[in-house]
């Protein structure tokens, strides 16, 4: 019988409220762990390679959040 995997706490990883896949990988979250956290509802996938914690406040504009994450030095 397969053993159910232990719960993963997103708070164990040093990540901001919204983060890139690269930031997640640097913090130790593999693709499989990210997929599991999305499935469990701990994080949401909102654009290619971009995630946000579900416990963080809902951003006003996801498009602006995407630009800010992709180009942190950009002027909007």
Task: Supply the pTM of this predicted model.
Answer: 0.83
SS3 47: strand
DSSP conformational letter for 68: H
Span 22-72, pLDDT tens digits: 999 999 999 999 999 999 999 999 999 999 999 998 888 999 999 999 998
**Domain spans of the chain, in order of start:** 15-70
Cβ density class 31-56: b for 16+ within 10 Å, e for less = eebbebbeeeebbbeeeeebbbbeee
DSSP conformational letter for 46: E
Triad 56, 64, 11: Cα angle to 5°: 25
């Amino acid at each position: 019988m397969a053993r159910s995997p232990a719960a993963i706490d997103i708070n164990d990883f040093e990540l901001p409220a919204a983060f890139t896949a690269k930031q997640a990988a640097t913090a130790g979250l593999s693709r499989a762990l990210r997929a599991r956290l999305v499935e469990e509802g701990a994080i949401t996938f909102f654009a290619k390679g971009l995630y946000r914690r579900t416990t963080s406040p809902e951003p006003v504009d996801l498009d602006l959040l995407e630009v800010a994450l992709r180009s942190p030095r950009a002027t909007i």
